[in-house]
Amino acid sequence: MTPRTPTLTQFIMEKEHAVAAATGEFTFLMSAIALSTKLISREVNKAGLVEILGLTGDRNVQGEQVQKLDLFANDTMVRTLARSGTVCVMGSEEVADPIPVNPPYTCGKYVVVFDPLDGSSNIDVGAPIGTIFSIYRRRSPDGPGQAMDLLRPGREQVAAGYVIYGSSTIFVYSTGEGVHSFTLDPSLGEFLLTDEGLRIPEQTRIYSINDANAPWWPAWVSRWVAGMRDGVGKGRYTARYIGSLVADFHRNLLRGGVYAYPADTRDPALPNGKLRLLYEAAPLAFLARGAGGHATDGHRDILDIVPDSLHQRTALFIGNREEVEAAVACHGEETGRGPADDR
């Protein structure tokens, strides 16, 4: 680190100073998210040691209950955000209902929705996993936050981001003006600016999709993927699929690429695919747009979808604009639906 390299908090404060009406509450909220993710990162890095150190019982060396990592991540986010005094209600993948902020903690003006640890199938195999968050300004006038504060189209986000726990821990966020990344320096315990104003490279040869679901895809998805696989007009593509949305999205953000989890007919209980709108698709769509990319469910911009429920699922095609628009075109050819239908 040189004195010229800002920490995440310094960087956010500098940006917030430029906004005349800013009170510092947003900086405080982001610091609370950053603190949570540092605690989660530390725990993720220890995950493989639990067995080696013989801590397979349900208590650790301090006599504390050993928690599953995704529940630890959830508790850490909930407690740290509640304590920050900047949030009036939260939504989490791990919790069925909205999470209120109760006394002694005070309600703030923000609403945060998050997936505390995404890519859970990768936890036990040392592959990258991540935390995804989405921030809105509250809509209800005061007091505890309500459902109306949570069920919002992605376009109303004031900020979104993710943290990837991989070969290093990387924090990526946007407030709509540029996408910025920071890398955790473990010796300092600080996220340091790595890249300001990230843009998805315009040309790509990478697609990320779970090909094993192909028998259940609609025909237009198969045609879209075949177009890339056959490289018609653009040359051959290559497939990269980690099975961890944050990691697949992050690679595609840096290298160019498109990630897709279409709706399919494999599981009748999941007619809209597997991924969640509010804390997986919408925040990443906000980041994709900030980096010059695009996200759709096949015909609607992800940022335009108004959720009916906290855990609503959606099909997702996200990344390079050209590849995402090719998916929308394939969908339109088959269904006759235009990109803006059914908003």
Beta carbons of 296 and 241 less than 8 angstroms apart: no
x/- map, 121-140, ligand AHM, by CB under 6 A: x-------------------
Among 118, 190, 297, 323, binds Mg ion (CB under 5 A): 118
Peptide bond into 100 cis (omega under 30): no
For Mg ion, which stretch binds (CB under 5 A), given 107-115, 150-158, 247-255, 291-299?
107-115
Residues between 260 and 279 that touch ligand AHM (CB under 6 A):
274
Residues between 197 and 216 that touch ligand AHM (CB under 6 A):
210
Whole-number Å distance between alpha carbons of 29 and 82: 10
How far lies 157's CA from each of 71, 142, 279, in Å?
Answer: 25, 19, 11
CB atoms near residue 211 (< 10 Å): 12
Q: How many residues bind Mg ion (CB under 5 A)?
A: 2
For Mg ion, which stretch binds (CB under 5 A), given 6-14, 61-69, 111-119, 213-221?
111-119
The nearer residue to ligand AHM, 29 or 285, going by C-beta atoms, is: 285
Q: Are strands 169-174 and 159-165 parallel, antiparallel or unpaired?
A: antiparallel
At closest approach, how far in Å is the CB of 48 from ligand AHM? Answer: 18
Among 87, 159, 164, 245, binds ligand AHM (CB under 6 A): 245
Nearest to 236 by CA among 261, 206, 201: 206
CA angle 41, 44, 47 (to 5 degrees): 155
The nearer residue to Mg ion, 118 or 248, going by C-beta atoms, is: 118
Asked if 190 interacts with ligand AHM (CB under 6 A), we say: no
End-to-end CA distance of the chain: 46
- The residue at minimum Cβ distance from Mg ion is 118
List interacting residues with ligand AHM (CB under 6 A).
Answer: 93, 115, 118-121, 210, 243-245, 248, 274
